[in-house]
Amino acid sequence: MPAVSPLRPAAVPGAAPIRHDWTTDEVEALLDLPFTELLFRAAGVHRQHFDPTEVQVSTLLSVKTGGCPEDCAYCPQAQRYHTGVEATKLMSTEAVLEKARAAKDAGASRFCMGAAWRSPKDRDIPKVAEMIREVKALGLETCATLGMLSGPQAQALKGAGLDYYNHNIDTDPEFYDAVIRTREIQDRLDTLEHVRDAGMKTCCGGIVGMGETRRQRAGFLRTLANLPAHPDSVPINRLVQVEGTPLHGTAELDPFEFVRTIAVARILMPASMVRLSAGREQMSDELQALCFAAGANSIFHGEKLLTTGNPDVAHDQALFQRLGLRAMQVAVDAPGHDHGGTVHADISAGPGAHAAGPGPGSCAAGGRV
């Protein structure tokens, strides 16, 4: 079949209309479907918008690790928890460029920079903007996850050439204060609005397996699907439990429930990239294959996913070969381009440094991306 990715079509003949008015009851009813029926429906939606044999493979570098003042219960980078993650200063532009060049040499077309901040200070923006401009000059797409942004900060990052901004809502608004108390979910929604208003693409998802109910997972997915614009990328993370965080010891989510979450995300947000994100190291090949069958078409690739482990490159390549999948390729400057195929090698900050995630609300704090 002709591939429709990486472009995101405005309309697909015969496809159901894009909706932003889902109810929690409707989403929960999808989650309640017989497993095989749900996967069948999700796979059909996937084929309407993407080549189901292609998977986007993404890259991420932490440019500032640890020391976050927030209390996200999953996050090993919160300074109040004792997890062994040491705080670092913002990397230099040249050090970031060295990692970006290595990523490009490994086949990357998009490079994401994350910092463990609640929100960047205005004085931090010119430093990050310089990184963005220099990475962009290498011919790479740029992505960042820095915490909450003001409108002017979002505009400044867009002016520097930033293509994508990640900011997760994390969970159902009804469950939010059971996980995070140092900010409101409206703070997250405000940042997403600033990013959209600045003309950048959004990456927004959350974490499942934090003790929420199925109905709360439905509320989480409904909130994402009812945003003014569906996120260009929807990372669905399976909680990685890190000793020292409050969620360490939480009952593990049923693997089939995770697959159901992936499938419903695909149905609700048919033209978005649905990213199988944190937690893959703990997933069997068979579970990952079910996720791809359910509509996941994006992963992070490499030995380290910030502060947590990730399947290594050779293993992923072997899995792709067994499943008949291939990494999505795209010309970065193609007209209408929306989704770039990128490759993540182990490009952590260097020997002895934790490959650490950004702060709360960002791309991969504490086992989430």
Query: What CA–CA distance (Å, rounded) separates 91 from 66?
Result: 13
Three-state DSSP class for residue 78: strand
DSSP character string of 4-20: -TTB--S--TTPPPP-S
Half-sphere exposure (Cβ direction) of 185: Cα atoms closer than 13 Å: 17
Residues 299, 55: Cα–Cα separation, whole Å: 7
In sequence order, what DSSP letters do the residues of 251-305 get, joined into one string? PPPPHHHHHHHHHHHHHHSTTSEEEE-TTGGGS-HHHHHHHHHTT--EEE-SSEE
**Alpha-carbon distance values, 237 to 43, 117, 317, 326 (Å):** 20, 20, 21, 22
Q: What angle do CA 347, 274, 48 make, to 5 degrees?
A: 135
As a whole number of angstroms, the distance between CA 260 and CA 55 comes to 19
The strand pair at 308-309 and 304-305 is best described as antiparallel
Catalytic machinery residues = 68, 72, 75, 112, 143, 203, 275
H or E stretch covering 114: strand 110-115
At residue 162's C-alpha, the angle toward residues 313 and 120, to 5°, is 95
